Structure 1
């Protein structure tokens, strides 16, 4: 079945995992206590603070404890919706002040632009919040890439290792599952997408654990849009 849309992961796929773990994560971790102290009662944070309180033994007014828990979740690389939302809010300052620019592999930049120009809809599905995804591609080292994407999905639609999440995305796109190609470096995510009927390709960059269950490409230039 011909590919009619591409959904891509970010960390380890479009972008260097080291940039996320060695730049973005430490930046958010260092600033977490001050950010929560200053904004913990802001309306924008209210739903996420409520999620944290509901899932822990912390009190809503224990801002120091909440900040420490979020730092702990960063250390564990926990894909928690509330954490990802708060991280994105902290990263905004860094991006807008040009403390850093988001890394996107040149091959990904080239082919994302090429596919977009060819009229192929592109989407992002990442554990990072939708706001953080948009911020990331708007402030990339290759320039503003945000216009290449027709939409974004995060863990509010479901976990990336759950087939039901991909079924929901396909339904939201109004497409047959087999018309959608998912790009990721993580085998378990590709397994879930495949279970939901999607086409899959693993992007196998340096350090990626290759999967025998999915088509592979060493970069975006090797991605085949014809399933044959």
Structure 2
């Protein structure tokens, strides 16, 4: 039956990593203290802060201590799910205010549109929250691409370099592994997906990226399904 679904990574694949690091991460770091001061009693935010305390084994940490820890996590690109969810909430404010637009490579936008027209089911998978991914594609410089996707996966299904995460995705979308293609720049992610039986393709947009036993492309323009 061929490829029925395509899962795309964001940073380094559909999105320039410099946008994630220099725009989104920087924005969340600058806005985090005020955001937590204003929203720490909101149900969702309060639950996320409790998750941070639990993960860090700092059950009695006050808001100032938690804020300091989260800023450190942002600096070191910690993949902790509560941090990524909080960042998504902060980024939503930035998108809605028009402080920035989501960066999507033009070749990625074109390919995604063509694949959707061909009847492929499109998903994204990122360490960022599913909501943050939806915002990235909705408010992109290439226009609103959010309607192209069936859904977005995040670390609630597992960390991206673990085989089980891809098995969980397969269970969620109810397709055989050979019917699914995963496109990413990260070799360890691709290795994990391949071990789960998923077809893989590595997007190499910069020199020095580690490559392995995966089909390599420098642009979505050259991908032929």
Whether 2:183 is the aligned partner of 1:166: answer no
**Aligned pairs for 1:124-163 within 5 A:** 124-163=124-163
Whether 2:221 is the aligned partner of 1:221: answer yes
TM-score normalised by the chain length of structure 1: 0.95
Q: Is the 8 A contact 1:185 1:208 kept in 2?
A: no
Q: CA deviation at 1:61?
A: 6.4
Distance across 2 between alignment mates of 1:202 and 1:17: 15
| CA deviations over 1:59-84 (Å, ceiling 9, x no partner) | 46611111111110011111110110
Q: Is the 8 A contact 2:49 2:82 kept in 1?
A: yes
Q: CA deviation at 1:104?
A: 0.3
Equivalent residue pairs, number: 225
Q: Is the 8 A contact 1:127 1:154 kept in 2?
A: yes
| CA deviations over 1:132-154 (Å, ceiling 9, x no partner) | 11111110011111000011110
Q: Is the 8 A contact 1:50 1:60 kept in 2?
A: no
Distance across 1 between alignment mates of 2:20 and 2:207: 15
Distance across 1 between alignment mates of 2:166 and 2:79: 17
Q: Is the 8 A contact 1:37 1:64 kept in 2?
A: no
Aligned to 1:40: 40
Distance across 2 between alignment mates of 1:220 and 1:52: 37
Distance across 2 between alignment mates of 1:83 and 1:186: 21
Q: CA deviation at 1:118?
A: 1.0
**Aligned pairs for 1:80-119 within 5 A:** 80-119=80-119
Q: CA deviation at 1:58?
A: 3.1
- What is the CA RMSD across the aligned residues, in angstroms? 1.3
Q: CA deviation at 1:48?
A: 1.3
Structure 1 spans left out of the alignment, 5+ residues? none
Q: CA deviation at 1:193?
A: 0.1
Aligned to 2:183: 183
TM-score normalised by the chain length of structure 2: 0.96
Structure 2 spans left out of the alignment, 5+ residues? none
| CA deviations over 1:172-225 (Å, ceiling 9, x no partner) | 111001110000000000000000000000001024614131111111112232
